[in-house]
Amino acid sequence: MTLLNEKSATELLALYGSGECSPVDVVQACLKQIERVESQIGAVTELCAHQAQNAAQESAKRWRNNEQRPLEGVPFGVKDLIETAGIRTTGGSNLFKNYIPKDSATVVKRIQQAGGILLAKLATPEFGFGDAHEGFDPTNPWANTQWAGGSSSGPAAALASRELPLAVGTDTGGSIRVPASYCGVTGLKPSFGRVPREGVMPVSWTLDHVGPMARTVDDIALLLTVMAGYSTTDPAVSNRPVDNYAGEYADGDGIHGLRIGIAQGWFVDGCSEGVLKAFAEAIRVLEGLGAELIEVELPHAALAGTIAWVITVAEFASLHEEHFDRLDEFTPSAAERLAAGATVSALDYLRAMRARSLIQQDLEKAFRFVDVVVSPATPTTAPRIVPPTDSFFEDGDRLWLEKIARNFLIHNVAGTAALVVPTAFDNGLPTSIQIAAPPFSELICIRVGAALQGVTDYHLDLPPMCLA
């Protein structure tokens, strides 16, 4: 029997509507699961149990009175870079260890106004760009010897371990998609400007994205519909109309006739045999659903890492200029990256900004002939953790750029939409496919991802710890 904490948000809303359970039951089930597994996972930094129980009572009343909202009574968690009124928000840093915001980020307010119940703040390495402090570095629910990914590691681990059904992460260079891939959950980096970032601690103002994380594409669609849209508080957010992502992709035609571009070169060259096998299987499934497969080349993809790195460290240093006299309080990686950013010349920064057009032009050309571009997500399964926990970065930041996030960075640089969906397992660990579409075409990503999850069940598999 499937426990309530294992249900998706879509399933929970249906159960609430039929009266088979209430938000009070679900919050209690999630709290019980957190109590049971959190000592093994380490995903939660702040548990909002009392507030969540009160909100669940209110949601149950709304359901009884037929006054329910789109996410009424569904628990969610947010990465600890995202501000929450009256609840500590540290950014994973000692610099903000006692920071309690007076107001919540726009995305949090939108989810709560839609009836979502904030259950927990979730772990992140320092500012999403440094090291994780001891006790705030989640392990992978599929194997506690393996890394959960970064930097939205807390959301991914909490989702995979069935602590909650919905989460919000951030992505500057793969930080939603890396942990989603490693932990076997679903994550979307929306288009740049699709979701407001007000109230979210920044890393890079030209590369940061805020996005939904869940276990199913259906839930991603639900959450994105609530999160997306114009806000006067974020100058980079778009005023383009928001699709009804939760209702518009199930048009009856599936993906028949959709043109799917299969990324070649850089995107497959660095992948393990197991990841390539899982990717090939997913492609066969999509073809079997009637999609047309077209190979595409993105010749400047290998430049994306360098472009992103120069921009990120420079902007990160600019954002923390006031903290330069406190470098000793940062974790080692964050301090090193701040120092590196301070040495980036204006000329190099502008060169990197100009070089973004090469990436954008490659993708624009590809999207003339295909509707989406797919690739393997992370090129390997989750690496093994060897104390200290970041020691698998044996060649430093270059490992992130060339081995871990190599297939993700291009979409941060270009601002395109990119969805990660679980595929087959490799030696008991998850693999994933990345589905990317032109800016503000999240609906196409969702359509393809939903079609894949409609005929596969990798996203439904439970980690061994949930079966014990």
User: What CATH number has the domain bearing residue 375?
Assistant: 3.90.1300.10
Q: How far apart are CA 302 and CA 248, in angstroms?
A: 35
Average pLDDT over residues 89-108: 97
Answer whether residue 396 shows pLDDT above 80.
Answer: no
At 402, the pLDDT band (50, 70, 90 cuts) reads confident
The encoded tokens of residue 214 equal 């869940």
Residue 12 included in any domain: yes
Mean pLDDT across the stretch 239-266? 87
Q: Is residue 1 part of a domain?
A: no
Is position 423 within any domain? yes
Query: pLDDT, tens digit, for every residue of 109-120?
Result: 999 999 999 999
Q: pLDDT at position 400, please?
A: 80
Q: What is the pLDDT of residue 390?
A: 45
Q: Which amino acid is at 466?
A: C
Tell me, what's the pLDDT at 247?
A: 77
The pLDDT-based confidence of 394 (bands split at 50, 70, 90) is very low
pLDDT above 70: residue 303: yes
Residue 250 has a pLDDT of 56
Q: Is 391 a catalytic residue?
A: no
Instruction: Give the active site residue among 152, 175, 204, 333.
Output: 175
Following DSSP, what letter does each residue of 298-339 receive, concatenated? -TTGGGHHHHHHHHHHHHHHHHTGGGGGGGGGS-HHHHHHHH
Share of the chain above pLDDT 70, in %: 96
Tell whether 450 is covered by a domain: yes
- Under a CB-based contact definition with an 8 Å cutoff, are residues 292 and 260 in contact? yes
The range of the structural domain enclosing residue 203 comes to 8-467
In a domain? residue 3: no
Q: What is the DSSP string of 369-390?
A: T-SEEEEESSSSSPPBP-TTTT
Mean pLDDT of 36-57: 97
pLDDT of residue 249: 63
Asked if residue 217 is part of any domain, the answer here is yes
To the nearest whole number, what is the mean pLDDT of the chain? 95
Calculate mean pLDDT across residues 61-73.
98
Q: What is the pLDDT of residue 385?
A: 84
| Residue 393 pLDDT | 41
Q: What is the model's pLDDT at position 387?
A: 53
Domain membership of residue 2 (yes or no) is: no
| Catalytic site includes residue 8 | no
| pTM of the model as a whole | 0.97
Would residue 147 count as lying in a domain? Answer: yes
- The pLDDT value recorded for residue 401 is 82
Res. 332: pLDDT tops 70: yes
- Indicate if the pLDDT at residue 140 is higher than 90: yes
pLDDT for position 468: 78
CA distance 162 to 152: 16
Q: The tokens of 237 are what?
A: 């957010």
Q: Tell me what pLDDT residue 389 has.
A: 44
Give me the number of domains the chain comprises. Answer: 1
pLDDT at 391 > cutoff 50:
no
Which listed residue (7, 8, 22, 79) is catalytic?
Answer: 79
CA end-to-end span of the chain = 14
Is 432 known to be catalytic? no
- Minimal CA–CA distance to 113: which of 44, 45, 55, 54? 55
Among 93, 104, 151, 153, the active-site one is 151
* pLDDT at 136 (0 to 100): 80
Find all residues with CB under 8 Å of 349, minimum gap 6, and list them. 310, 311, 314
Q: How many other CB atoms are there within 10 angstroms of residue 358's CB atom?
A: 17
In which band, very low, low, confident or very high, does the pLDDT at 386 lie, cut at 50, 70 and 90? low
* Tens digit of each residue's pLDDT (9 = 90 or more) over 176-230: 999 999 999 999 999 999 999 999 999 999 999 999 999 999 999 999 999 999 9
